Structure 1
Amino acid sequence: MGFGERYHRTLEEVAACARKAGRDPREVRVVAVSKTVGIDEIETAVAAGAHDFGENRPDALAEKRGHLPEQTWHFIGNIQSRRIPDIVRDAALVHSLYQERHVHRFEAAAAAAGKVQDVLLEVNVSGEHSKSGLAPADVARMLIACEPCDHVRVRGLMTMAPQGDLAAARACFEELARLRDEVRRGLEPGRAALFDELSMGMSEDWREGVAAGATIVRIGRALFDDAFENGSHSD
């Protein structure tokens, strides 16, 4: 099965999951996580209709965006301070901001680039020590840190669920959605309208993400790797 068939099958299933949850399928964006593939595979994906791609390393992001600048590129990896200007140059949306010390670096880099950088706050909903992210109780403080920045726009929240337990993943995603809604209620209307994204769900658990309200699912191996069909489930 090639990328195109996997991609369109996934889109159909995303739409079905959204409708089952009483949602408009157009509310859910599929980001094809392309970190393990090269330019040729991404060009094949573009030809099949994919236009949002996720990368976790600044160098790969720069290379691939350089070849395909008309596509929408997401940065989904760990943020290193010294690479923030590179990330800002190439990313339409950064999914993984959680350290307050990085906020003003993003502000400075985005101002220098003449853009407003859209970001998501990464939240460690599950509390696992192996995962990075803000504690849910610290999200409000982080938003206060971002508020003075004219070139950083917080669009919502991102999380990763515990692997291997779909019920736990669903609970994790539902908690992130509850937190997003709670935060929105405390924002003035203009900011609340923009604080609408929930990036949650990967190849193994995106269905739970859509059911819980995800607006972005990050799917890699289920789209690009035949081995996923035979039991490989990590993006």
Structure 2
Amino acid sequence: MKPIKPVFEQMNNEIQNIRKEVQVIAVTKQVGVERTKEAIDAGIRHLGENRPEGLAAKRAAIADDVQWHFIGTLQTRKVKEVINQIDFLHSLDRLSLAKEIQKRANQPIKCFVQVNVSQEESKSGLAPEETLEFIKSLEAFDKIRVVGLMTMAPNTADEETIRKVFKGLKALQLEVAAENWEHAPCTECSMGMSNDYLIAAQEGATFVRIGTALVGTESEG
């Protein structure tokens, strides 16, 4: 696999030339501890995992001051294993999950509400028209702070289709932010992955989640 540092530096320069506010999350779910440490040594400070086991193993082995993001679906029964080990959750999409976070979290958790902007049946997330009401309902949960919205674009080479999805999330994020809810400042947009992160940056992303294009893949061993 390629060394991470030059890849990250080039990628980050491209992103920063578009928008200075964008943070790169290295999605390390398909690599082991040593490759994850290489990402940290390259200057990356945001790491993304999608399995409780992978998160636990890497947290146990890595003492560096990094921000941990849980991306992908979080099963309600797994909340107790994950929620006090992370800084950000990118997949809040149902009341049952919110209730379990409220029950298990030791402190307020920074959450992205997942929105299925493309409305693909294969994707999780709220419908755009459900999003405001759902976020409003979270006001009673003092362990949840809605910092932003998250979405995934369709897996397509059609740039305009991708761009339309990202524009939709950004518009919705601004709509939520305009409500000035104390529990939901909603200033962030988590969108863009290996194939479309530059488009996401152009359309208002503040976090991009990059796995294979940045750290590659390997056997967890």
Q: Please, what TM-score do these two structures have when normalized by structure 2?
A: 0.93
Would you say 1:132 and 2:127 are equivalent positions?
no
Counterpart pick for 1:116 among 108, 111, 119: 108
Structure 2 counterpart of 1:39: 33
Q: Which amino acid aligns with 2:12?
A: L
Q: Distance in 1 between matches of 2:68 and 2:60?
A: 11
Name the % identity: 37
Would you say 1:12 and 2:43 are equivalent positions?
no
Structure 2 counterpart of 1:181: 174
- Answer yes or no: is the 8 Å Cα contact 2:30–2:217 preserved in 1: no
Q: Distance in 2 between matches of 1:79 and 1:191?
A: 21
Q: Runs of 5+ in structure 1 lacking a partner?
A: 19-24, 228-235
Structure 2 counterpart of 1:107: 102
Structure 2 counterpart of 1:230: none
- Answer yes or no: is the 8 Å Cα contact 1:103–1:145 preserved in 2: no
Structure 1 counterpart of 2:202: 211
Structure 2 counterpart of 1:169: 162
Matches within 5 A, 1:191-206: 191=183, 194-206=185-197
Q: Distance in 1 between matches of 2:76 and 2:82?
A: 10
Larger RCO (alpha carbons 8 Å, 6+ apart): 2
Q: Distance in 1 between matches of 2:57 and 2:126?
A: 30
Could you list the runs of 4 or more consecutive aligned residues of structure 1 that deviate by over 6 angstroms after TM superposition?
none
Q: Runs of 5+ in structure 2 lacking a partner?
A: none
Structure 2 counterpart of 1:232: none
Q: Deviations over 1:27-54 (max 9, x none)?
A: 1100000001001001111111111100
Would you say 1:68 and 2:69 are equivalent positions?
no
Q: Residues 41 and 226 of structure 1: is their aligned pair in 2 closer, same or farther, counting only changes over 3 Å?
A: closer
Q: Distance in 1 between matches of 2:97 and 2:214?
A: 32
Q: Distance in 2 between matches of 1:226 and 1:93?
A: 23
* SS of residue paired to 2:140: coil
Structure 1 counterpart of 2:48: 54
Would you say 1:98 and 2:90 are equivalent positions?
no
Q: CA deviation at 1:17?
A: 2.2
* SS of residue paired to 2:170: helix
Would you say 1:147 and 2:119 are equivalent positions?
no
Q: Distance in 2 between matches of 1:226 and 1:5?
A: 17
* SS of residue paired to 1:147: helix
Q: Residues 185 and 5 of structure 1: is their aligned pair in 2 closer, same or farther, counting only changes over 3 Å?
A: same
Q: CA deviation at 1:144?
A: 2.3
- Answer yes or no: is the 8 Å Cα contact 1:116–1:151 preserved in 2: yes
Q: CA deviation at 1:119?
A: 0.6
- Answer yes or no: is the 8 Å Cα contact 1:3–1:223 preserved in 2: yes
- Answer yes or no: is the 8 Å Cα contact 2:18–2:202 preserved in 1: yes
Q: Distance in 1 between matches of 2:136 and 2:183?
A: 12
- Answer yes or no: is the 8 Å Cα contact 1:65–1:71 preserved in 2: no
Q: Distance in 2 between matches of 1:117 and 1:226?
A: 29
The alignment yields a C-alpha RMSD, in angstroms, of 1.5
Q: CA deviation at 1:225?
A: 2.1
